[in-house]
Chains A and B, each alone.
Chain A
Amino acid sequence: MKILVCISKTPDTTAKIAFTDNNTKFAENGVQWIINPYDEWYALVRAIELKEKDPGTVIHLVTVGEADTEPIIRKALALGGDEAIRVNASGADSFFIASQIAEIARQGGYDLIFTGKETIDYNSAAVGGMIAELLQLPYISLAVKFDLEGSTVTATREIEGGEEIVQASLPLVVSCQKGMAEQRIPNMKGIMSARTKPLKVVEPVAVDPLTTIAGFETPPPKAGIKMIPADNPAELIRLLHEEAKLI
Chain B
Amino acid sequence: MSVLIFIDHSDGAVKKASLEAISYGAKIAEQLGLTAEGALLGNLNEDIASLGKYGVKKIYHVADVALDHPDPQVFTEVIAQIAEKSGAKLIVFSNNLHGKAIAPRVSARLKAGLVAGAVALPDTSNGFIVKKNVFSGKAFAFISINTDIKIISLNPNAYPVAVTEGAAAEVVPFTAAVGEPRIKVTAVNKVTGEIPLGEAEIVVSGGRGLKGPENWNILEDLAAALGAATACSRPVADADWRPHHEHVGQTGLAIAPNLYIAIGISGAIQHLAGVNRSKVIAVINKDPEAPFFKAADYGIVGDAFEIVPKLTEAVKALKG
**Chain A contacts to B: CB under 8 angstroms:** 11, 13-14, 17, 19, 37-38, 41, 93-95, 98, 117-118, 120-130, 132-134, 138-142, 144, 154, 157-169, 172, 177-179, 209-219, 222-223, 225-230, 233-234, 236-241, 244, 246-247
**Chain A residues within an 8 Å CB radius of B287:** none
**Chain A residues within an 8 Å CB radius of B101:** 129, 139, 141-142, 157
**Chain B residues within an 8 Å CB radius of A246:** 201-202, 258-259, 279-280
* Cross-chain contact of A94 among B104, B279, B301 (Cβ < 8 A): B104
- B134 near A226 with CB under 8 A, answer no
Closest to B149 in A: A210
Given contacts A123-B116, A165-B185, A179-B244, 11 further A-B contacts (CB under 8 A): A121-B134, A126-B104, A129-B101, A133-B76, A161-B191, A162-B191, A178-B244, A211-B143, A240-B282, A244-B297, A246-B279
* A-B CB pair tally, cutoff 8 Å: 280
- A95 near B184 with CB under 8 A, answer no
**Chain A residues within an 8 Å CB radius of B302:** 230, 233
Size of interface on B: residues with Cβ below 8 Å to A: 100
* Cross-chain contact of B112 among A138, A209, A210, A247 (Cβ < 8 A): A210
Chain B positions 267-298 with a Cβ under 8 Å from a chain A Cβ? 269-270, 273, 276, 279-280, 282-283, 293-298
- A239 near B295 with CB under 8 A, answer no
Given A159-B97, A165-B187, do A236 and B300 touch, yes or no (CB 8 Å)? yes
Bound complex: CA A105 to CA B114 (Å) = 22
* Cross-chain contact of B311 among A13, A154, A237 (Cβ < 8 A): A237
- A167 near B189 with CB under 8 A, answer no
- B98 near A159 with CB under 8 A, answer yes
- B116 near A234 with CB under 8 A, answer no
B11 to chain A, nearest CB (A): 7
| Chain A contact surface mostly | mixed
Q: Which 3 A-B pairs have the closest CB atoms?
A: A230-B302, A129-B104, A210-B113
Q: Is residue B144 contacting chain A, with contact meaning CB distance below 8 A?
A: yes
* Cross-chain contact of B134 among A95, A122, A210, A239 (Cβ < 8 A): A122
Given A19-B139, A216-B139, do A130 and B113 touch, yes or no (CB 8 Å)? no
- B252 near A17 with CB under 8 A, answer no
A30 to chain B, nearest CB (A): 15
